[in-house]
């Protein structure tokens, strides 16, 4: 039996009627199933998807109305078309009862071969059309899922590319490009709304000795540890960036005056100076470094170059005056 062909279920408790129906349906392009009772019919319906059920009404134990009612009220069977085949219940009241139970049509006994073949043909064509439509919908759903996945992956890749373009690959901090954007935005807001902020430039004292003496893996581990300390000791509204090498910058929002800016920078300086225990190639390495920090305040009307130069100059003043300290400029 071809599993791809439509299936028709014939339900009748009289063997002779089943034989007759089998003969009448011999030319139908469908696989024919037979049931001699309502219970047998329901069992077959649960195991197969039928394009059409030809159902005798007058059966013992469970009549056709009850079988049709069960089929129409079962979710995955409710779309199965049912035609009552009967010599009885031909009056309007029983026809209405049959339609209410879920039947879509009646065929009277004795069966007219032409009428039966015509109606069966129509329902088989409807079944095939619905199957094709479902196949198209399934393919469309699959394609939509594929497109959704592709769009999500493309979005993820675009976000990754944007992140890589604006963030330091080693530490994950904003890079020089993103920091400049943030600083220019802060200047624009400060000019428009009168806000205050400070800019700190940080150069690590002793980094070269660690990097040269213990290798680049140690230097990289140290830079990541420094980035973590800076990030954990600044506010969410601040911006910590790695400008390159062992140079960092911090945009400190809401720094009202030089004293408060220096106090916040001293916190960063103290954090960086705390001893480190680095995991390098399976070994633990203890190192101690310091930081020279130059900090300056935003002044309304400031240009990007002026405030950057002021912070950079103050940082070099910190290095020249003994390192591991904060200098305001």
Q: Which residues contact 309 (CB under 8 A, 6 or more apart)?
A: none
Crossing angle of helices 38-47 and 64-73, in 10° steps, is 20
Q: How many CB atoms lie within 10 A of CB 43?
A: 12
Tokens of 269: 């300086």
Q: How far apart, in whole angstroms, are the C-alpha atoms of residue 251 and residue 238? A: 5
Identify the active-site residue in 246, 270, 302, 312. 246
The DSSP string of 214-245 is: H-HHHHHHHHHHHHHHHHHTS-TTSEEEEEET
Find, among 79, 86, 49, 53, the residue nearest to 67 by Cα.
53
Q: H helices then E strands: how many in the chain?
A: 10, 12
**Is 220 labeled as catalytic in the residue annotation?**
no
CA dist 209 and 3 (Å) reads: 77
User: Which residues are catalytic, by number?
Assistant: 246
């Amino acid at each position: 039996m071809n599993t791809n062909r439509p299936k028709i279920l014939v339900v009748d408790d009289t063997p002779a009627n089943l034989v007759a129906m089998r003969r009448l349906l011999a030319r139908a392009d469908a696989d024919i199933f037979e049931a001699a009772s309502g219970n047998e019919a329901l069992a077959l319906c649960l195991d197969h998807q039928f394009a059409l059920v030809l159902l005798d009404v007058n059966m013992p134990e469970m009549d056709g109305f009850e079988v049709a009612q069960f089929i129409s009220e079962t979710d995955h069977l409710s779309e199965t078309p049912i035609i009552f085949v009967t010599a009885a219940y031909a009056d309007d009241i029983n026809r209405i009862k049959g339609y209410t139970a879920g039947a879509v049509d009646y065929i009277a006994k004795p069966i007219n071969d032409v009428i039966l073949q015509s109606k069966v043909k129509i329902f088989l064509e409807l079944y095939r059309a619905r199957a094709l439509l479902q196949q198209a919908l399934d393919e469309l759903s699959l394609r939509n899922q594929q497109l959704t996945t592709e769009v999500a992956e493309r979005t993820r890749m675009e976000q990754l590319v944007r992140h890589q373009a604006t963030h330091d690959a080693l530490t994950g901090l904003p890079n020089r490009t993103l920091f400049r954007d943030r600083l220019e935005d802060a200047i624009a807001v400060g000019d428009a709304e009168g806000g205050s902020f400070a800019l700190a430039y940080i150069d690590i004292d002793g980094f070269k000795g660690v990097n040269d003496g213990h290798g680049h893996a140690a230097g990289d581990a140290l830079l990541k540890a420094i980035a973590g300390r800076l990030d954990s000791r600044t506010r969410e509204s601040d911006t910590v960036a790695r400008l390159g090498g062992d140079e960092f910058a911090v945009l400190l929002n809401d720094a009202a005056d030089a004293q408060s800016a220096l106090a916040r920078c001293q916190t960063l300086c103290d954090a960086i100076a705390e001893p480190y225990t680095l995991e390098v190639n399976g070994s633990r390495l203890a190192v101690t470094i310091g930081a020279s920090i130059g900090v300056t305040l935003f002044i309304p009307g400031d240009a990007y170059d002026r405030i950057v130069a002021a912070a950079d100059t103050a940082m070099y003043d910190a290095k020249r005056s003994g390192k591991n300290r904060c200098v305001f400029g």
